[in-house]
Amino acid sequence: MSLYRENILDHYKNPRNFGKIPGSSKSSHAENPSCGDSISMDVVIDKGKFEDIKFTGEGCSISIATASILTEELKGKPISTVIDYNLEKLEELLGIEIVPARKKCAKLPLNILKKIVLKELKNQSFPDLQMI
């Protein structure tokens, strides 16, 4: 077994930042029916940065490991960081080439974070443009 696979299995078996954030966190949820992945993420944003990120849910090793790795990677970073994240970045973080059948699994947690961040950035940048 390669080091990378061991790392993914470790994040799957011992997910980091697993749980809910009580209080005024921003949350979003998404599912990947084709695989059965179901993940929710809670985020605390302060001064444009991820102050805290946690997730809950269940799914395959790729979806859970990606969520776990993203929480570690992004904590303390500007929220706009996730806008540029794509599949190549996820492969870099996971250290493997993601096979086509698992691409949706890896994208699921990232897309949840993107959804939260896009909503947040929209509220900040265009306060007058919400009602259209």
What residues numbered 12-31 form the site for Zn ion, per CB under 5 A?
none
Question: DSSP code of 31?
Answer: E
DSSP state letters, 46-89: ETTEEEEEEEEEE--HHHHHHHHHHHHHHTTSBGGGGGG--HHH
Member of 30, 37, 41, 57 binding Zn ion (CB under 5 A): 37
Q: Which is nearer to Zn ion, 15 or 21 (CB)?
A: 15
**Whose CA is closest to 55, among 116, 104, 97, 101?**
116
Choices 13-21, 56-64, 81-89, 111-119 (CB under 5 A): range interacting with Zn ion: 56-64
Applying CB under 5 A, does 63 fall inside the site for Zn ion? yes
Q: Which is nearer to Zn ion, 63 or 68 (CB)?
A: 63
Task: Give the footprint of Zn ion on this chain (CB under 5 A).
Answer: 35, 37, 60, 63, 105
